Structure 1
């Protein structure tokens, strides 16, 4: 079962790349982008992480936080962040609790199944406002930023 627009985003408590537990409640009063990506240190995921890192100040200026989520473990996330200088949190969902709670689908690439690249926009009250499925990593962060700014004007 997947989450639908207007529903509360599932509560989560997941470790980031430094082992610090990050909760949905940490973002109360802010807009939040939760982007799911297939695997650390792969081409598309690197492009996406670099894009969000480069845009971090623009997001923060608009009261928007960004977290990435994959099934990779903390050590993998730490190495990925260090290798590319990411300044965004990458959350580890090794037991797939949040992945399953949002109903994320899988895609197959070269015979290997991965969780699909999907982004969720959560409003300051914790409600899901928009879903982006089968995301193309190049420039996605700019599209998201502009779309969220438009949503902010409407609320």
Structure 2
């Protein structure tokens, strides 16, 4: 009887944890499908929505945490390449589960000229399949979204040092330049 109760408790725990893991993982996004909508505050408290970027390319990158070495390198590469990205008709938006105050400090410290969205509940990251299993951080994924709001390229586990350059290369190919 005692072992039956322990088995029932163990099974309940397995079900609880496995259902949580399933909720954290969104279906894999695919090139060509509409990008999931979003509406989140940036580091200045301004609400940003996917529709705000309609008519232009959008490099939407998810990153792990403000002011960490890899995330700083990735953000600064996008910052340094912002002129070329703008010339190609693209905007850049970063997203992490950090709050707007943390984003404001990070953006100011490194002179980041693009919005950083505060996805503190991890809901947007989950919709983009970019939330780590425990929900405490985003995965380092980038989505290049076309002017009609469709996913044009997906960069899973994006390189901190090459992500911006990869986006630029693909933009040139996609635009035929």
Q: TM-score, normalised by structure 1?
A: 0.91
Q: Structure 1 segments of 4 or more deviating over 3 A?
A: none
Among residues 86, 90, 93, which one is paired with 1:60 in the alignment?
Answer: 86
Structure 1 residue aligned with 2:77: 51
Secondary structure of 1:14's counterpart equals strand
Conserved 8 A contact 2:38-2:49: yes
Tell which structure's C-alpha radius of gyration is larger.
Answer: 2
- For 1:135, the equivalent position in structure 2 comes to 158
Name the residue aligned to 1:125: 148
TM-score (norm 2): 0.80
Of 101, 119, 124, 1:75 maps to 101
More relative contact order in 1 or in 2 (CA 8 Å, sep 6+)? 1
What is the CA distance between 1:107 and its match in structure 2? 7.6
Task: Tell me, in whole angstroms, the C-alpha distance in 2 between the residues paired with 1:15 and 1:92.
Answer: 6
Aligned to 1:87: 113
The equivalences for 1:11-50 within 5 A come to 11-50=37-76
CA distance in 2, matches of 1:6, 1:141: 21
More strand by share: 1
Aligned residues: 151
1:106 aligns with 2:110: no
Rounded to whole Å, the distance in 1 between the matches of 2:137 and 2:50 is 24
State whether residues 2 and 101 of structure 1, in contact with CA within 8 Å, keep that contact through their aligned partners in structure 2. no
CA RMSD of aligned residues (A): 1.8
Alpha-carbon separation, structure 2, partners of 1:7 and 1:70? 23
Give 1:54 shift. 0.9
For structure 1, list consecutive stretches of 5 or more residues without a partner in the other structure.
Answer: none
Counterparts of 2:168 and 2:145 in 1: how far apart (Å)?
13
User: 2:173 aligned with 1:150, yes or no?
Assistant: yes
From the two aligned structures, give the one with the greater helix fraction: 2
- Post-superposition offset of 1:105: 4.6
1:2–1:104 Cα contact (<8 Å) kept: no
Runs of 5+ unmatched residues, structure 2: 1-26
> In structure 1, the residue corresponding to 2:67 is in which secondary structure?
coil
